Amino acid sequence: MTTNAERLQQIVLQEIDELSTLTEDWAGRRLVGNTYEYVQDSNALYTTENLQVDSFASLSLDFLVIFDLNNQPAVAGVIDPEAQQVASWAFQMSLP
């Protein structure tokens, strides 16, 4: 018989595994450096090259928010399920 604690542990381990895959994929695409540069200069080419439907699908994401070094959102992308495309936008707001 599986206890609630064991179920919770399995869920947490599964989430850690998925995050590890996500991190490896993101780093493997050499996006880490490109993402850092994008946050610094808001180059629109970054979103057209990196925030595409296949990127979201391969990472099993419905949306993505990238924060700058001050924990402020720099850009976000969300899948439009009807159009099967990514809607992305630059943030012009700040969070506390």
In a domain, residue 96? The reply is no
In a domain, residue 39? The reply is yes
Residue 81: pLDDT over 90: no
Pull the structure tokens for residue 96.
Answer: 């506390």
Which structural domain, as residue segments, surrounds residue 40? 4-90
| Burial class of 77 by CB neighbour count within 10 A (0 to 12, 13 to 18, 19+) | buried
In a domain, residue 59? The reply is yes
In a domain, residue 28? The reply is yes
Q: What is the pLDDT of residues 8-39, one digit of tens each?
A: 999 999 998 888 877 766 665 666 778 888 88
CA 55 – CA 61 distance, rounded (Å) = 8
In a domain, residue 95? The reply is no
Whether residue 34 contacts residue 46, with contact meaning beta carbons closer than 8 Å, is answered with yes
CA 56 – CA 50 distance, rounded (Å) = 9
Number of domains in the chain: 1
